[in-house]
Chain A
């Protein structure tokens, strides 16, 4: 009897010991993931999508790293990096958000640090301005076309490759009664709506800013773009003017829309069974073109990090080494589908298909210029007035150019 009781308790004891050992070992294994021991308190500020969650978690393993993930980091970063000493050592940036930091001269050239610690980096990752490496890219991002493959198969519709086909498909889906609003789009005023405009505008051959920095929005391409956006609105959720990427992703997850031109970084959440009712049913393809055989109507972006200038060199060196640890092979392997990584160890999966097809189709890189930033701001402010019917297409395009010129004068871009 006693023996049996003893025997019965043994597995329990074993389990408990195993748990205890496992718990004790946890911090150990976590620290082993970071090859260096960080002794300087390091603060980072970046966007908050899944890829950044993965990278900042890898940084945290080095110890003494405090990361702020904020989708509105853009408004904080310029002031914070201009402080002396800078309030953050490492900043997460993209093509457009690096511009303010470059303009203010608050990030440091990284060439010497790259030479010393950057053996793992490929030349493709080095963002160079005027011959100097100013940022290290870790991933590319693009708005590509996501469709509910199951729905399209069932209805016998081919995956659209042009916007005309998209709208036809949307009409069919709406007529079938399965989707009241088959299409999703990020039309929230500000960055989101300006991006929807620019994708199509550039694909129509529009030139947003001319070499002398004068605007080119009020043109035939501009008119065509607005007309297309108006046609899209018919198939969007009536509250589309408040919808950002998160909102569109949620519409996918809840089965309210069947297609959208959405950021590739959102694919992870769409295919996560804990979040989405349609995980694994969402196919990514190249962004639709505006005409048969045209370039995909989207732009290519990179995301990466920079190191602040207003820091002691030793601190910057440590920050660089920590930053490198966050983009090592181990992180990539653990988060392979969180982004289209530019890093060693990345195996392009289904979620990279749309981005790669868009790039191969000739989608242009989003230009990192001040003028483009101002155009984007002017678009973000004014396009919604056309969508709500407050202004006509001509009035809207004029207002965009006027708003751009007011800004550009203060920026010294135009006289």
Chain B
């Protein structure tokens, strides 16, 4: 195919990605190096608020935002270099943590970015094998089931995947929080003290369980489709050669599914690293936070209406660097497979 044709065919897609993914990315990179500061002045202000019998008015000297001629607050944007990154990574505290007398990693894991990173990575790497493994087991089981019930089985197995993530997280929360039905049943049968949202680790376990429940069906459906194309002749000759069930799985089926397993892992790695819905849905911010939640919390306006754009941008750039690092082994594989030949 000639270059011109290629460009012609891919232009609409490339332009969309350029405009709506690449441009915001560049602007985020630029914003992470700048800080906007609100300009204020000290003024005497009389404020009146309602009391029960009469209004209470007080005059105080306080700093107030300076308004420009257009009625908008005056701000000043300065180039601050890596300041925002230092602030997000809390480099100063890192140094004291490892200085003599510091508590080392225990202290580091109290800092927001580092504990978010810790959770995001554990979450990603614990769910990855579970999702792929459970998906594979379900696919093998469904493939071994009677043909007549395979349809309903596929349908029920897909349910957790198609459900809206926010709603899925809420459903799980409704079942577990307070005296939700599952917690209540466990309390009645096992231990009356059980509560899932009281300590960090149970919330974390619940988040892992939710994500595996939600994503294993995706692995299942891809691998199940892959199982349909396993070469039956190879399988039969393996039987004739006396290969056990396990050996057939190990030497025939799994190699056939290998590219699909890589595909599923790739997609899951990206999605799990973005973990966010769980933190919001489970209201876990007192115990565990994730990297994307951290960015999001900088971006939400606080009680003065300010968004911390510089730190949000820095934290999202760091998040991005993280995912690129994680993807490097997989990208290398893509490179080997699809390397332009000739």
Measuring CB to CB, which residues of chain A are less than 8 angstroms from any residue of chain B?
74-75, 78-79, 95-97, 99-105, 123-131, 137, 140, 188-191, 211, 213, 237-239, 241-242, 247, 250, 300, 302, 309, 342, 356, 359-360, 365, 368-374, 376-377, 384-385, 387-388, 390-391, 395, 406-407, 409-413
Contact = CB atoms under 8 A, between A and B. Distances in A.
A79 B299 CA distance: 12
Contacts of A370: 63, 65, 304
B50 A125 contact: yes
A359 B284 CA distance: 35
Interface of B: 35-40, 43, 45-52, 54-57, 60-63, 65, 67, 71-73, 87, 110, 177-178, 193, 195-200, 283-287, 300-306, 308, 310
Given A124-B55, A247-B178, A387-B286, A411 B48 contact: no
Contacts of A237: 178, 195
B51 A410 contact: no
Nearest to B106: A390
Contact of A388 (B73, B286, B302): B286
A103 B285 contact: no
B54 A124 contact: yes
A117 B70 CA distance: 28
A390 B109 CA distance: 9
Contacts of A385: 110
Contacts of A410: 35-38, 306, 308, 310
Contacts of B301: 74-75, 78-79, 100
B305 A239 contact: no
Contacts of B47: 127-130, 368
Contact of B50 (A130, A140, A374, A411): A140
Given A97-B303, A127-B49, 14 more contacts: A100-B301, A127-B50, A211-B60, A211-B62, A302-B50, A342-B50, A356-B52, A365-B49, A370-B304, A377-B302, A384-B285, A410-B308, A411-B37, A411-B304
23 contacts: A95-B49, A99-B304, A100-B303, A101-B305, A102-B65, A103-B65, A124-B51, A128-B57, A130-B45, A130-B46, A140-B50, A189-B286, A241-B197, A241-B287, A242-B177, A300-B49, A368-B49, A377-B302, A387-B286, A395-B110, A410-B37, A410-B310, A411-B306
Nearest to A103: B65
A371 to B, nearest CB: 8
B187 to A, nearest CB: 11
Give the top 9 A-B pairs by smallest Cβ distance, nearest first: A100-B305, A373-B303, A238-B198, A241-B286, A78-B305, A384-B286, A239-B197, A128-B48, A377-B302
Given A188-B283, A241-B286, A410-B37, A104 B305 contact: yes
A338 B71 CA distance: 37
Nearest to A374: B304
B78 to A, nearest CB: 11
A17 to B, nearest CB: 46
Contacts of A211: 60-62
Contact of B283 (A242, A250, A360): A242
Nearest to A254: B179
B137 to A, nearest CB: 33
Given A239-B198, A241-B286, A412 B56 contact: no
A284 B65 CA distance: 40
